[in-house]
């Protein structure tokens, strides 16, 4: 039920224009997109540090394009202004207001780069242009014309590009929604045929699980796109999901690394790449958990065709997203149907189902918000049996009861009582041999 | 010596495209541009007040376009950031940073108007486009395509346009320099054939002189463009000079009025119009004064051809602007040459002249920063004799010594000791019958 596993449906494949992307200059080491988030450009001092980082890549002989967010806090201020004027404001004007945050930073960073002797210029979404659809506030990139930026990179100019924004079909400013700067960076990397898209963030890479829960969690050198998607969608919120989908579709090699590490540190981060680039595959790459879900069981639902469709259509109409679904065989013409929704949606889901009770004809609703979802993720599962069994045995050894089980090709998820979440994660991290 | 009296050289006449501006809708009362400065949009509360003002004009049946500045203080913050990163920063990037201030306000004001049931949309310089030359940081508007805005005004949409900014020949963002939003408003009014351009400011109109000096100063109902230019350039800093020149060139009727007055107040302001529109001409419309000048006398300059050119070329090369110049007949082959410069330029002017002493061959420099320039301005002077004489007699009656005299077609200026400035203004205000 998770749209995140259907990347083709979300992001068109047409971002790279038909024109062949020219080879980079023979002297250039690599063509790199560097993306910096809001905390990395939070003030002038941090912008200067970003300029130093970019300067090092330029001095190493790389062709560089930079994608930046707005200063941390700036976007929140702009959003607050819009909401204060009108809780339900015109999304087109909201985009006009929000896009100023990134624009200011591109100009400032270009100036900071110039003081370091680097030729740099700023680019707004409308100037490149970064074309998007017309869904203001949550637009999707449809095409980027990278030709002019490539031409300038080849003669040594650094492009400083506003993330998060684009130009809609009506030539108005659009924004991509929260986290959209990651998507901007990956889309630009695809459009200019970059060797790598470096996402500078406040963590130094992707870990086998949350190090706050498992101190022995290990940083992964590499992770496959599919694994990253499964980890992100269940709680490892480092990269914006849409950016990972886009990277997968266009085979953009993404590196997640820390914007706070010193230059001297080992700051190689984690490379998110195609499965084929990972030589030594782990059966399980990581353990994810989420406490943001709630479980709903409909007791004694009539077991007849179309009943599931009726239930989930009603919920979709009220914008309730469904995650796991379990239905068992029926007894006496009725069955119990269990599924999970986002915890924030629980009240709305209950109200919707209560209203639809006459049509659906279930006996009662049982809801439980006190649950956690634990997932083990790994492309190695495809070729190894017994992965799920290892999970079930490890949980049984700790006397943790499994309420719901859901599997995909590279993931096994279980729902358990929330109190046991950390214990379960630690047990599984050890059981799959992930401890450092 | 003042370029401000040569408007044709400053602002091309081609802002209005060749296409004929369509007549307004028969039902529309008038087509109006409303311009609000930074203090008028300083925060959300003030933006709401602006929205109320715009709503009143729309409800009165007018077609309205709004031109706004950035929030007061926002531009200073952005300038400070640029300067902190690099004292000599790229003007193109500076423009990218500064233009965000107006952009944010247009979006916010459009939202505020929409909550009042008014259809409104924001426009940035690049969207219209407002074409400028490539002089970043102090660009001049070259052309505005008003067609789409007119089309939308005719169907009831309010255009909320970013002042102060445009699109340069290289498709990069330009800004017009401080006070440029007035120019944006007048240029837009010309391009869309507006009946009137209302400049909302922190004064309620143009006065016969500074009311802080002469409490009996009167607000003028109307003033001619030429008078406004002369008053502005000598101290009445209400309207940006370039905007007045532009209004004169395109015969845009400009109204200066208070953005702080209540709707119920008599807030008709002052209309700046063509001389022909002023039926009852005053001989003198206003008295201006300036303390920003300094007087320099070069004693015993050799009286030979080319000597004045040598002096003023040297000063111009060091960006010293000259205002008044007086040269008397020579005696014994040499003469005294007196002129005024901006007080802030006095040190630079002295250094320049000292360096050029061998070429010029004067005996000594006498400088005096303790002077004031008093001007009487009025288009009525053209047809009335004795205007200057009234001035001289009024000053003599107060025993005020005149150091330098300079006249133009509609202005008589004198330089006097700074201590007497206020006394002189009051005496002249009475002498010309301007007291309320």
Residues of chain B with C-beta less than 8 angstroms from the C-beta of A121:
92-93
Q: State the DSSP H helix or E strand holding residue A34, giving kind and residue range, or none if neither.
A: strand A31-36
The arithmetic mean of pLDDT across residues A337-360, rounded, is 93
Whether residue B307 has pLDDT greater than 90? no
pLDDT recorded at residue A349: 95
Cα torsion at B6, B9, B15, B21 (round to 10°)?
50
Total CB pairs under 8 A between chain A and B: 111
Which two tokens mark B432? 């010309």
Residues of chain B with C-beta less than 8 angstroms from the C-beta of A112:
85-86
CA distance B251 to B212: 31
What is the b/e burial string over A224-251, where b = at least 16 CB atoms within 10 angstroms of the residue's CB?
Answer: bbbbbbbbbbbbbebbbbbbbbbbbbbe
Residues with Cβ within 8 Å of A380's Cβ and at least 6 positions away in sequence, in order, are A281, A282, A283, A284, A285
Q: Which residues of chain B are in CATH 3.30.2130.10 domains? A: 281-436
Whether residue B275 has pLDDT greater than 60? yes
CA distance B324 to B336: 14
The arithmetic mean of pLDDT across residues A283-295, rounded, is 91
Which two tokens mark A306? 């179309």
Is B93's CB within 8 Å of A121's CB?
Answer: yes
Sheet-wide strand order for B286-290: B286-290, B371-377, B411-417, B404-408
Of A84, A93, A111, the CB nearest to B86: A111
CA distance A134 to A74: 24
The gap from C-alpha A340 to its chain's centroid, in whole angstroms, comes to 21
pLDDT recorded at residue B272: 95
Tell me which of A93, A110, A137 to substitute to probe the interface with B (most B C-beta atoms closer than 10 Å): A93
CA distance B340 to B321: 9
Which three-class secondary structure string do you get for chain B?
CCHHHCHHHHCCCCCCCCCCCCCCCCCCCCEEEEEECHHHHCCHHHHHHHHHHHHHHHHCCCEEEEEECCCCCHHHHHHHHHHHHCCCCCHHHHHHHHHHHHHHHHHHHHHHHHHCCCCEEEECCCCCCEEECCCCCCCCEEEECCHHHHHHHHCCCEEEEECCEEECCCCCEEECCCCHHHHHHHHHHHHCCCCEEEEEECCCCCECCCCCCCCCCCECCEEEHHHHHHHHHCCCCCCCHHHHHHHHHHCCCEEEEECCCCCCCCCCCEEEECHHHCCCCCCCCEEEEECCEEEEEEEEEECCCCHHHHHHHHHHHCCCCEEEEEECCCECCEEEEEEEEEHHHHHHHHHHHHHCHHHHCCCEEEEECCEEEEEEECHHHHHCCCHHHHHHHHHHHCCCCCCEEEEECCEEEEEEEHHHHHHHHHHHHHHCCCCC
pLDDT recorded at residue B297: 94
Tell me which of A41, A54, A107 to substitute to probe the interface with B (most B C-beta atoms closer than 10 Å): A107
φ, ψ of residue B44 to 5 degrees: the values are -65, -35
Of B84, B90, B110, the CB nearest to A44: B84
Angle at B187 between CA B186 and CA B191, to 5 degrees: 120
Residues of chain B with C-beta less than 8 angstroms from the C-beta of A126:
126
Tell me which of B52, B73, B97, B98 to substitute to probe the interface with A (most A C-beta atoms closer than 10 Å): B97
pLDDT band at B18 (very low <50, low <70, confident <90, very high): very low
Computed from CA positions of residues A77, A79, A84, A90, in that sequence, does the dihedral angle turn out positive or negative?
A: positive
The gap from C-alpha B265 to its chain's centroid, in whole angstroms, comes to 26
CA distance A424 to A396: 10
Nearest CA in chain A to B75: A104
Of A199, A367, A209, the closest CA to residue A267 belongs to: A199
Sort residue B5 into left (φ over 0), alpha (ψ -120 to 50) or beta.
alpha
| Three-state SS at A98 | helix
HSE toward the beta carbon, residue B134, CA cutoff 13 A: 5
Sheet-wide strand order for A334-342: A322-327, A334-342, A293-302, A364-368
pLDDT band at A20 (very low <50, low <70, confident <90, very high): low
Is A111's CB within 8 Å of B93's CB?
Answer: yes
Q: Is the Cβ–Cβ distance between B52 and B113 less than 8 Å?
A: no
pLDDT recorded at residue B298: 94
Of B128, B127, B139, the closest CA to residue B175 belongs to: B139
CA distance B236 to B160: 28
Q: Which residues of chain B are in CATH 3.40.1160.10 domains? A: 3-279
CA distance B136 to B127: 18
Smallest CA–CA separation between A173 and chain B, in Å?
A: 10
CATH code, B281-436: 3.30.2130.10
CA distance B200 to B257: 5
| Percent of chain B scoring above 70 in pLDDT | 91
φ, ψ of residue A172 to 5 degrees: the values are -105, 160
Tell me which of B41, B80, B93, B173 to substitute to probe the interface with A (most A C-beta atoms closer than 10 Å): B93
Q: Is the Cβ–Cβ distance between A154 and A22 less than 8 Å?
A: yes
φ, ψ of residue A68 to 5 degrees: the values are -125, 155
Between B427 and B382, name the one with better pLDDT. B427
User: Which range among A94-103, A224-233, B257-266 shows the weakest confidence by mean pLDDT?
Assistant: B257-266
Whether residue B11 has pLDDT greater than 70? no
Whether residue A397 has pLDDT greater than 80? yes
The arithmetic mean of pLDDT across residues A46-56, rounded, is 96
Which two tokens mark A128? 């490149």
Is A97's CB within 8 Å of B107's CB?
Answer: yes
Of B64, B4, B363, the closest CA to residue B189 belongs to: B64
Residue that is written with structure tokens 């401890």 in the block: A435
Residues of chain A with C-beta less than 8 angstroms from the C-beta of B99:
103
| Percent of chain B scoring above 90 in pLDDT | 70
The Cα-based distances of A261 to A253, B60, B172, B265 in angstroms read: 21, 61, 35, 61
CA distance B177 to B219: 29
Between B147 and A307, name the one with better pLDDT. B147
Q: What is the ipTM of this complex?
A: 0.81
Nearest CA in chain B to A162: B96
Q: Which residues pair with B199 in a beta bridge?
A: B35, B256
β-pairing verdict for B173-175 and B196-201: unpaired
Is B44's CB within 8 Å of A81's CB?
Answer: yes
Mean pLDDT score across all residues of chain A: 89
Q: What CATH topology corresponds to B3-279?
A: Carbamate kinase (3.40.1160)
Q: Is the Cβ–Cβ distance between B4 and B240 less than 8 Å?
A: no
Is A90's CB within 8 Å of B111's CB?
Answer: yes
Of B112, B124, B98, the closest CA to residue B44 belongs to: B112
Is A103's CB within 8 Å of B82's CB?
Answer: no
Smallest CA–CA separation between B179 and chain A, in Å?
A: 21
Computed from CA positions of residues A226, A229, A233, A236, in that sequence, does the dihedral angle turn out positive or negative?
A: positive
Q: Which residues of A touch B (CB under 8 A)?
A: 44, 47-48, 78, 81-82, 84-86, 89-90, 92-97, 99-101, 103-104, 106-108, 110-112, 114-115, 121-122, 124, 126-127, 171-173
To which CATH superfamily is domain A282-436 assigned? VC0802-like (3.30.2130.10)
Most confident of A136-150, A250-264, B237-251: A136-150
Is A111's CB within 8 Å of B47's CB?
Answer: no
Whether residue B46 has pLDDT greater than 80? yes
Angle at B55 between CA B49 and CA B57, to 5 degrees: 115
Which two tokens mark A129? 């242009």
If you classify domain A3-280 with CATH, what class do you get?
A: alpha beta
Residues of chain A with C-beta less than 8 angstroms from the C-beta of B126:
126
- pLDDT, one tens digit per residue, over B72-89 is 999 999 999 999 999 999
Sheet-wide strand order for A165-167: A141-144, A130-132, A165-167, A173-175
Residues with Cβ within 8 Å of A203's Cβ and at least 6 positions away in sequence, in order, are A238, A256, A258
Residues of chain B with C-beta less than 8 angstroms from the C-beta of A81:
44, 104, 108
Cα torsion at A176, A178, A182, A184 (round to 10°)?
20
Q: Is the Cβ–Cβ distance between A70 and A164 less than 8 Å?
A: yes
Local structure of residue A16 (DSSP, 8 states): S
Cα torsion at B179, B182, B184, B185 (round to 10°)?
160
Q: Which residues pair with B273 in a beta bridge?
A: B224
Computed from CA positions of residues A349, A350, A353, A355, in that sequence, does the dihedral angle turn out positive or negative?
A: negative
pLDDT band at A1 (very low <50, low <70, confident <90, very high): very low
CA distance A381 to A77: 45
**Cis ω on the peptide bond leading into residue A129 (within 30° of 0)?**
yes
CA distance B171 to B194: 27
Computed from CA positions of residues B4, B6, B8, B9, in that sequence, does the dihedral angle turn out positive or negative?
A: negative
CB count within 10 Å of CB B419 equals: 12
Which two tokens mark B176? 């017009």
Residues of chain A with C-beta less than 8 angstroms from the C-beta of B90:
110-111, 114
Most confident of A307-321, A325-339, B143-157: B143-157
Residues of chain A with C-beta less than 8 angstroms from the C-beta of B66:
none
pLDDT band at A179 (very low <50, low <70, confident <90, very high): confident
The arithmetic mean of pLDDT across residues B242-258, rounded, is 94
Tell me which of B51, B76, B87, B96 to substitute to probe the interface with A (most A C-beta atoms closer than 10 Å): B96
pLDDT recorded at residue B139: 95
Q: Which residues of chain A are in CATH 3.30.2130.10 domains? A: 282-436
The gap from C-alpha A33 to its chain's centroid, in whole angstroms, comes to 18
β-pairing verdict for B270-273 and B222-224: parallel
Is B127's CB within 8 Å of A171's CB?
Answer: yes
Residues of chain A with C-beta less than 8 angstroms from the C-beta of B48:
85
Is B93's CB within 8 Å of A108's CB?
Answer: yes
| Percent of chain A scoring above 90 in pLDDT | 70
Mean pLDDT score across all residues of chain B: 89
Residues of chain B with C-beta less than 8 angstroms from the C-beta of A124:
96, 173
Local structure of residue A406 (DSSP, 8 states): E
């Amino acid at each position: 039920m998770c749209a995140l596993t259907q990347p083709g449906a979300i992001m068109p494949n047409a971002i790279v224009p038909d024109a062949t992307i020219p080879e980079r200059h023979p002297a250039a080491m690599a063509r790199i997109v560097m993306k910096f988030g809001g905390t990395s450009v939070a003030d002038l001092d941090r912008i200067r540090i970003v300029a130093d980082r970019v300067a090092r890549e330029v001095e190493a002989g790389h062709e560089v394009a930079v994608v930046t967010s707005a200063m941390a806090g700036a976007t929140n201020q702009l959003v607050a202004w819009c909401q204060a004027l009108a809780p339900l404001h015109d999304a087109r004007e909201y985009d006009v207001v929000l896009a100023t945050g990134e624009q200011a930073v591109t100009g400032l960073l270009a100036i900071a780069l110039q003081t370091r002797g680097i030729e740099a210029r700023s680019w707004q979404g409308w100037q490149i242009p970064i074309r998007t659809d017309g869904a203001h506030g949550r637009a999707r990139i449809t095409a980027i014309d990278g030709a002019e930026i490539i031409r300038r990179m080849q003669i040594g100019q650094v492009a400083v590009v506003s993330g998060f924004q684009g130009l809609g079909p009506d030539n108005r400013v659009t924004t991509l929604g929260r986290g959209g700067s990651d998507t901007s960076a990956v889309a630009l990397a695809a459009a200019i045929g970059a060797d790598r898209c470096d996402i500078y963030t406040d963590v130094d890479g992707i870990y086998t699980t949350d190090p706050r829960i498992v101190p022995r969690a290990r940083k992964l050198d590499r992770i496959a796109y599919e694994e990253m998607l499964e980890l992100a969608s269940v709680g490892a919120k480092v990269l914006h999901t849409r950016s990972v989908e886009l990277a997968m579709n266009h085979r953009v090699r993404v590196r997640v690394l820390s914007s706070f590490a010193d230059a001297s540190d080992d700051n190689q981060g984690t490379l998110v790449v195609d499965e084929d680039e990972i030589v030594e595959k782990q059966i399980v790459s990581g353990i994810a958990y989420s406490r943001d879900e709630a479980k709903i069981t409909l007791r004694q639902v009539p077991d007849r065709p179309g009943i599931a469709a009726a239930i989930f259509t009603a919920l979709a109409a009220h914008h309730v997203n469904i995650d796991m679904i379990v239905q068992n065989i029926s007894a006496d013409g009725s069955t119990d149907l269990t599924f999970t929704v986002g915890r924030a949606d629980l009240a709305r889901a209950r109200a919707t189902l209560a209203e639809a009770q006459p049509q659906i004809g279930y006996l009662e609703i049982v809801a439980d918000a006190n649950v956690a979802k634990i997932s083990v993720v790994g492309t190695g599962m495809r070729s190894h049996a017994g992965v799920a069994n290892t999970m079930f045995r490890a949980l049984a050894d700790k006397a943790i009861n499994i309420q719901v089980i859901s599997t995909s090709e590279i993931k096994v998820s279980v729902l358990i009582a929330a109190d046991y979440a950390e214990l379960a994660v630690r047990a599984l991290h050890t059981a799959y041999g992930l401890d450092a």
